[in-house]
Structure 1
Amino acid sequence: MKQKSLFTALCLLLTISTVFAQSDYFFPANARFDPKIPTPEQFLGYPIGTLHTRHDAIVGYMRELARVSDRAKLDTIGETYEHRQLVVLTVTSPENLANLDEIQAAHVRAITPPIQEEDLSDQKSIVLLGYNVHGNEPSSSEAALLTAYYYVAGRHAEVTNGLKDAVLLIDPAFNPDGRDRHSTWANSFKGDPMVSDPIDAEHNEMWPRGRTNHYWYDLNRDWLPLAHVESQARIDFYHQWYPHIVTDFHEMGTNSTYFFEPTKPFGSENPVVPRDNYDGLNNLFAGYFHESLDEIGSLYFTKEQYDNSYPGYGSTYPDIHGALGLVFEQASSRGHLQDSRMAKVAFAFTIKNHLTTSLATVRGAVGERETLVNHQRKFFRTAVEEGKKASGGWVFGDQTDEGRNGEFVDLLTRHRIKTIKLNEDITLKGKTFKAGNAFYVPNEQSQYRMVRTMFEKVTNFYDSIFYDASSWTTALTYNMPHERYTGKAVLNGETVDRSYDGGTYASVEKTDYAYLIEWDEYYAPKALNYLLNKGLYVNTAFKKFGLKTNDGDKDFGYGTLMIPVARQEVNADLVHAYIEEATELAGIRAYSAKSGYSSSGIDLGSGSFRTIRQPKALMLIGGNVSSYEAGEIWHLLDDKVGMPITKVMTSSVGRIDWSKYNTLILPSGNYSSLGKNTLDRIKQWVREGGTVITLRSATSWAVNAKFVNEKFAERPKRDVPARMDYVTSREFNGSNAIGGSMYMTDVDITHPLGFGYTQRDLPVYRNHSIFLAPTSNPFGTVVQYKENPLLGGYVNKTNLEKIGGTASLIVSGIGRGSVIMFADNPNFRGMWYGTNKLFFNALFLGNMAR
């Protein structure tokens, strides 16, 4: 009955658009406001909850608050790919604002080693109120507007006294591009009167929907990999402040209620976070949340469904930095008004719930200030102590790929993990890490728990159900050679910072014969793409060889690029200029050869050099294609290769002129809707020499649809008891899912799709139950799971026994063309640098893979 009365009040609110109606509906009864401060409604021209507010208007209102108030200032911390501003509104007392730099410096000093047992009674609660990381979960940004107004304009004691003890950092939209995509949709389809029918277009966005950013990435998974500019800017800001509390507001299914932490005990918690975070802080703050929601009659649930495991969440990353990360989930109206199983869910009601817990968060931060301050200081002090007790650290470095080294070092330094470039060689467990390409991460540092996150492999868990990934060992995602160092000797070298780029570019001596570029460099495809765009003929080596170069005698591996000079359509000076430009762009080296006569292996005129075909690629999108995987491919090619890719909606396939393309990419999805005629046309195109690349469920579709003559491996048979209690069904079914774990495979480094790898061991990520059989062609299984392959994460025993020996990547021939089939996603979340090369090879060398 309370929810129905709330809805009745809402309808009245939407009819009477006055400042007082808004205040009475959203804010506590005792709230009093400065009339000189404009309300959101006065600034926007409409009541909150009656439209979805565009991001530029959100920023405009925050800027206006900073202009008219001595409690607030606005900082721009970055911008999105679509050039929307990322802003943070700082709100505190006028006295604190005037002394903000010292407050910030004193706070950071208190948690920076060596950590002193000093009096922290003057410390402020630093609260980062973060909103709207998923663009089509929009209620929280509207709540951010009301929260900002509440603390900037509030005259009552809760606000004026609270701001003396707290600094609020209000980030109104973590994902502005996705938000505006959704807001435009919802506003465009809003009816008058409003339509609450769930099937209405307003509640059902078109692909790719507004959840993700410009490149269709879920930014709430990006706090660890930092693949995107929004996350990079946010992490830089985060480490300037190290807040005590970070909020992460979301929306869930319309038929739900409201969720706040604690999450599911033990099974959903991150293994490096101390227990007092979960047993102490989470339960302490739950009291503030349930009291505030009880007061307005809102239903809620806790301790189930959501987890705190994966470090890339906005609610988990803070936990690994001595803060309290808090996730909130509100039943979504996915528009302005929608039917649910209990009552209609109105946009304004969803906003009110998030506003209510926003205010409760600040009340808790003020009331528990000393607890928060002491918890964070203890967190970093014990991190250093535990790191010292663990002793040693981790040595890493790829001896042939400085580009990948540079990217990994950049990630570590962005996370403020101390990293040392060693000035001496070191050998650990038979692996030699040579100075120049060897790095050391000591355990004894304040970021020890992030060090564990990057390097530790975890396979033992309290639970068998995971909302997301159960493994995130970042060194594995980069395929980064690494070993634990347990020695007593101090490893010497220079501490690196963000200025380290790992590039090896050096001007190459001009030659009239040939240039060579090693393919084992991560950014070699970027140089190759540049050269192909300039019209040069580029060849790749199918066998190893040794040759005298401008840098002396040198050995070259599989996939080495060879660019002859005399047979090009431009003169030698221009060839040299293009080589210089390509290698400088990619940050890699080229070598010049004055003779094609090798000292070992093949000569440069050998038939074992094959000419590379410039990819002319298109990717199908829309329909039921995975926008995540499509976005990962799009971003990879834009960011790492500089190569445009044509994106075609599945509904427009009939308009494609197939003669313009030689490569078709099918991300996860079911393509049966294309129809028999279209599929027959694609198959004929493959027979004529085209290359199809399928990922995950697209591979499964290709097998099921008989598009290729391949098979699945035998699926594991579940041992199901004759009778079980119904309440255990979710746990039983969840334990049989493969939700995201890491495995070791064997890659054929002599195969064109394996070119550039110097070791056969290759970690891969698996979050599916596709068991792909090795192809019948003995040379066509490029990547195969090893026996007992588990590296990290959860998988039940039955599934693990069946994974070993199955295929991760195969090539299936059709006529003169081929279908390159990935059982796994080599580009997952923009952090799998180790398997990206497989995809690059499929793109540039796929037509040679037969």
Structure 2
Amino acid sequence: MLKKLLLGVLFLSTSISAQDYFLKKFHPFDANVPSPEEFLGYPIGERHTRHDLIVAYLTKLAEVSDRASIYEYGRTHEDRKLVILTISSPTNMSNLEGLKQQHLKFTDPSQTPTNYDEVPIFINLAYNVHGNEPSSSEAAMLAAYTMTASNNPEVLNYINNAVIFIDPTINPDGRDRHTQWANMYQGSPLVADPQDAEHNEYWPRGRTNHYWFDLNRDWLLGINPESRGKLTWYHEWYPNVVTDFHEMGTQSSYFFEPMKDNASLNPIMPKENYIDLNNLFGEYFSKALDSIGSFYFTKEVFDGTYPGYGSSYPDLQGALALLFEQASSRGHKQTTAFGEITFPFTIRNQYVSSIATVKAAVENKAMMRKYQQDFFKSALTNASKSRVQGYSFGDQYDQNRVKAFVDKLLLHKIDVYKSGNNFVVPTRQPQYRMVQTMFETYEKYRDSVYYDASAWSVANFYNMKYRPVTSLNLGEKVSSLEKLVTPVSLQKSDYAYIIDYDDYNAVAALNHLQSKGLVISSSFKPFTIKTKSGDKQFNYGALVIPVSLQKKDSNTVFKLLENAQKQFKIPVYAVNSGYSSHGIDLGSRYVSPLTKPKAAMIIGDGVRSYEAGEVWHLLDTRVHMPITKIPMRNLGRANLDEYNTLVMVSGNYDLPKEQFEKIKNWVSKGNTLITIGTASKWAIDKKMVKEKLTEKEEDSTKTAQRKPYVDAPENLGKKNVGGAIFKVDLDITHPLAFGYHDDAIPVYKNNSVWLAPSKNEYATVAKYSKDPHIDGFITAKNTEEKLKPSASLIVSKLGGGRVVLFADNPNFRGSWYGTNRLFLNALFLGDKIQIPE
């Protein structure tokens, strides 16, 4: 009945009737403020709205309404605007800065305001972090219009008692990718057949941003400009309530919180958040959705265990973060088991939930303010109860990697101090819970199935050497990244220069200098030599630039090295002699010239876009090196001889025999194939390499134990490794490990690819250690039978070339600075790997 009513309303010829499907409850509206339909020229839900039109409409509201102002908090990779429309009563808007200062007192544990009910509550309505979940951005325009134009007493009460921040599209690049697709294939009349092209996007689809990152996992990691801009804005305003609107499978209904129980044994967010507040707001949502006949569910599937969602990060900032999931029409109309679902219907549920959020927040504003105040005060109280007073960290060999980690801490407003050669993060600070998130690791959990990762101790992402301390020597507080990296000033040499390869940015410098035409060698053994800055010990992989062997004069070479040092802040040393005091000399056969990589990567249907995007992002934004992205559909006619390195990330490579042989023959000519995750499994399964997977034969005579059918999803789910951190033993003499000093490093595993150590004694670069667990959930059976016997990284000979097989993703979510080097070494040093027979 509801669906029939929907379609009848949707196709009424008068625009007022179509608009009233959403807005009839909140009449009268100010005629001077244009509705979305009047501005766009079509009813909301008739087509998908481009991001620039959404921004234009909100900008128009800010121009014509004294209730609104618009703020640009950033730009996407594709230079689309990221905006927030601030809405409140004209009186509140004229005193917004004053209200902000009153509001921020509740987030400062040193302040003790008690006027909880006198300050408007701050609400962030945030939409469309996944680009192909488009209903919420349309709802954002309706919510913005309602709050700026409605003169209904209910709405007037809301804007008097709240400051509402509408972020209409968190992921504009992904949204426009999907919008173009949905509108391009829209039929007239509409086609509801699920098999129609409109409902089935091509790879990489619109979910992700420009580099194919899932921005809903990026709040904690802050890799992309969309997230960094939002985090900067967030820590300026600290809203009390934050929404996170999504879509899910077409056959579902509607989800709102409370969520499934948090899987952590002792969640660091207060119980009041995920028990009391979620249930309180849930009553508002159920009542609102009941009133329009919508079905929904709660307490299933989704959990807030990972702290980097839009629906979990604000929970660690004293707010209540709220997840909504709407069954998607994946286009404009689609047939489901329950009838037809239309785009306007999906929008209405999101709009109704938006208004219900404002209602719940306003009616409980004193409680929400008191909760946020108590949250930050309890951070100090909780920290005081722990013996750990802080965490000390640093790495004497790699200042740029340390700088990147400090940048992450500062992004989250964590206090950091410089103490001697190390840094210290005290636990007793308002961001104590974020300190826990960065450093603490766990072994025990209350659940074994996760919606996302079960491990996120960010210090391990950076392979940061850290330790808890029970007494503090803070030193100077770090307020910026300036002067954190101070390489020795370069002096001119007519003989040679040496770049310390231990630094994270050394690879970017290597690529830069190779692109400028310099011949650069790598040292395959360590040495100690006198430089113009004094004696210096160099590790495996040190980059040697002999001046006399260049095609450029010594002044030009010096200028190129000087500019590279300034750009990348790398340690570069001048030497006048190739004679070393210890180890090899610069003319040794162990100092080998490097070939500039010409890299390609297979992309397209079947390839895991997340991993492909991580490779692309790493090379684009940190190494500044191009990589050719070859669509799977073009592989048959692609000339692989144009490249010396090919990357295959996880995916389903169901290649025709001739294409498989094409890759195999290309590797055999002396080239390097780099495989990650399931691509490594594919190479083994297809017998491209003579390696094996770790397998344990099951006893076929054993009778299966009978279990309740309803428990099947949980029992089967816990067999997977959803995301955990393990320790590997690394052969630091291997070219793939150049730049590392410690033979034990953390790696991230979120797959079930188990590589057996190679039978070649020199080919296993990294193997899981005897006591491998660092952080995250894994079953005891997987630990003993799969993890401990397996390798994380091996190299396998194939003719004159080699295949570098990663079991684990070294570039996970753009954040694993600690293992990026393994992947980059495969690119830049791969052809130097000689595998003894």
TM-score tier (shorter) = over 0.9
1:193 corresponds to which of 165, 185, 189 = 189
Question: Which residue of the partner structure matches residue 658 of structure 1?
Answer: 640
2:783 corresponds to which of 800, 824, 827 = 800
Question: Which residue of the partner structure matches residue 679 of structure 1?
Answer: 660
Amino acid at match of 1:274: P
Q: Quick check: 1:513 aligned with 2:495? A: yes
Deviation of the 1:289 alpha carbon: 0.3
How do 1:799-838 residues align onto structure 2 when only pairs under 5 Å count? 799-802=782-785, 803-838=787-822
Return the alpha-carbon distance in structure 2 between the equivalents of residues 548 and 728 of structure 1: 67
Return the alpha-carbon distance in structure 2 between the equivalents of residues 701 and 403 of structure 1: 36
Deviation of the 1:388 alpha carbon: 2.3
Return the alpha-carbon distance in structure 2 between the equivalents of residues 277 and 398 of structure 1: 38
Question: Which residue of the partner structure matches residue 404 of structure 2?
Answer: 407
How do 1:207-222 residues align onto structure 2 when only pairs under 5 Å count? 207-222=203-218
How do 1:124-523 residues align onto structure 2 when only pairs under 5 Å count? 124-267=120-263, 271-390=267-386, 391-422=388-419, 435-436=420-421, 438-487=422-471, 490-500=472-482, 502-523=484-505
Deviation of the 1:9 alpha carbon: 2.4
Question: Which residue of the partner structure matches residue 431 of structure 1?
Answer: none
Q: Which moved more, 1:583-592 or 1:611-620?
A: 583-592
Return the alpha-carbon distance in structure 1 between the equivalents of residues 770 and 703 of structure 2: 25
Return the alpha-carbon distance in structure 2 between the equivalents of residues 85 and 147 of structure 1: 20
Deviation of the 1:722 alpha carbon: 2.1
Is the Cα contact below 8 Å between 1:49 and 1:142 reproduced in 2?
yes
Question: Which residue of the partner structure matches residue 533 of structure 2?
Answer: 551
Is the Cα contact below 8 Å between 1:414 and 1:498 reproduced in 2?
no
Question: Which residue of the partner structure matches residue 843 of structure 1?
Answer: 827
Is the Cα contact below 8 Å between 2:606 and 2:652 reproduced in 1?
yes
Number of residue equivalences: 830
Question: Which residue of the partner structure matches residue 430 of structure 1?
Answer: none
Question: Which residue of the partner structure matches residue 755 of structure 2?
Answer: 772
- 2:826 counterpart SS class: helix
CA shift in 2, pair 1:250/1:715, >3 Å? farther
Q: Which moved more, 1:471-480 or 1:569-578?
A: 569-578
The two structures have a TM-score, normalised by structure 1, of: 0.96
Is the Cα contact below 8 Å between 2:132 and 2:175 reproduced in 1?
yes
CA shift in 2, pair 1:349/1:269, >3 Å? farther
- 1:672 counterpart SS class: coil
- 1:352 counterpart SS class: helix
Q: Which moved more, 1:748-757 or 1:263-272?
A: 263-272
Question: Which residue of the partner structure matches residue 768 of structure 2?
Answer: 785
Amino acid at match of 2:413: R
Q: Quick check: 1:703 aligned with 2:684? A: yes
1:591 corresponds to which of 570, 573, 582 = 573
Question: Which residue of the partner structure matches residue 509 of structure 2?
Answer: 527
Return the alpha-carbon distance in structure 1 between the equivalents of residues 454 and 272 of structure 2: 22
Return the alpha-carbon distance in structure 1 between the equivalents of residues 768 and 511 of structure 2: 31
Question: Which residue of the partner structure matches residue 726 of structure 2?
Answer: 743
Deviation of the 1:195 alpha carbon: 0.4
How do 1:707-746 residues align onto structure 2 when only pairs under 5 Å count? 707-715=688-696, 721-746=704-729
Deviation of the 1:6 alpha carbon: 2.4
Amino acid at match of 2:619: L
Question: Which residue of the partner structure matches residue 736 of structure 2?
Answer: 753
Return the alpha-carbon distance in structure 1 between the equivalents of residues 752 and 441 of structure 2: 22
Return the alpha-carbon distance in structure 2 between the equivalents of residues 762 and 244 of structure 1: 39
CA shift in 2, pair 1:287/1:15, >3 Å? same
Return the alpha-carbon distance in structure 2 between the equivalents of residues 717 and 258 of structure 1: 41
Return the alpha-carbon distance in structure 2 between the equivalents of residues 720 and 303 of structure 1: 35
Amino acid at match of 1:457: T
Is the Cα contact below 8 Å between 2:26 and 2:146 reproduced in 1?
no
1:763 corresponds to which of 740, 746, 749 = 746
Amino acid at match of 2:459: A
Is the Cα contact below 8 Å between 1:129 and 1:248 reproduced in 2?
yes
Q: Which moved more, 1:137-146 or 1:108-117?
A: 108-117
2:598 corresponds to which of 616, 626, 640 = 616
Deviation of the 1:143 alpha carbon: 0.3
Is the Cα contact below 8 Å between 1:270 and 1:308 reproduced in 2?
no
Return the alpha-carbon distance in structure 2 between the equivalents of residues 301 and 148 of structure 1: 27
Deviation of the 1:774 alpha carbon: 0.7
Return the alpha-carbon distance in structure 2 between the equivalents of residues 236 and 738 of structure 1: 33
Return the alpha-carbon distance in structure 2 between the equivalents of residues 31 and 815 of structure 1: 75
Deviation of the 1:717 alpha carbon: 5.2
Is the Cα contact below 8 Å between 1:257 and 1:300 reproduced in 2?
yes
Is the Cα contact below 8 Å between 1:129 and 1:246 reproduced in 2?
yes
How do 1:16-35 residues align onto structure 2 when only pairs under 5 Å count? 16-35=12-31
Question: Which residue of the partner structure matches residue 560 of structure 2?
Answer: 578
Question: Which residue of the partner structure matches residue 688 of structure 1?
Answer: 669
Q: Which moved more, 1:29-38 or 1:692-701?
A: 29-38
Return the alpha-carbon distance in structure 2 between the equivalents of residues 287 and 484 of structure 1: 43
Q: Which moved more, 1:119-128 or 1:617-626?
A: 119-128
Return the alpha-carbon distance in structure 2 between the equivalents of residues 16 and 645 of structure 1: 51
Is the Cα contact below 8 Å between 1:17 and 1:46 reproduced in 2?
no
Return the alpha-carbon distance in structure 2 between the equivalents of residues 633 and 720 of structure 1: 45
Deviation of the 1:787 alpha carbon: 1.7
Deviation of the 1:680 alpha carbon: 1.2
Deviation of the 1:120 alpha carbon: 2.7
How do 1:42-81 residues align onto structure 2 when only pairs under 5 Å count? 42-81=38-77
CA shift in 2, pair 1:230/1:452, >3 Å? same
- 1:140 counterpart SS class: helix
Return the alpha-carbon distance in structure 2 between the equivalents of residues 697 and 585 of structure 1: 37
Q: Which moved more, 1:40-49 or 1:656-665?
A: 656-665
- 1:339 counterpart SS class: strand
Return the alpha-carbon distance in structure 2 between the equivalents of residues 722 and 100 of structure 1: 64
Return the alpha-carbon distance in structure 2 between the equivalents of residues 599 and 507 of structure 1: 23
- 2:425 counterpart SS class: strand
- 2:339 counterpart SS class: coil
Q: Please list the CA deviations of residues 485-515 of structure 1 after superposition, one character each: whole Å capped at 9, or x if unmatched.
A: 012xx41311112343633345411101110
Is the Cα contact below 8 Å between 2:262 and 2:304 reproduced in 1?
no
Amino acid at match of 2:243: T
Return the alpha-carbon distance in structure 2 between the equivalents of residues 828 and 708 of structure 1: 25
Deviation of the 1:23 alpha carbon: 3.6
- Structure 1: unaligned runs, 5 residues or longer: 423-434
Deviation of the 1:30 alpha carbon: 4.9
Deviation of the 1:117 alpha carbon: 5.1
Return the alpha-carbon distance in structure 2 between the equivalents of residues 751 and 198 of structure 1: 52
- 1:29 counterpart SS class: helix
Amino acid at match of 2:169: A
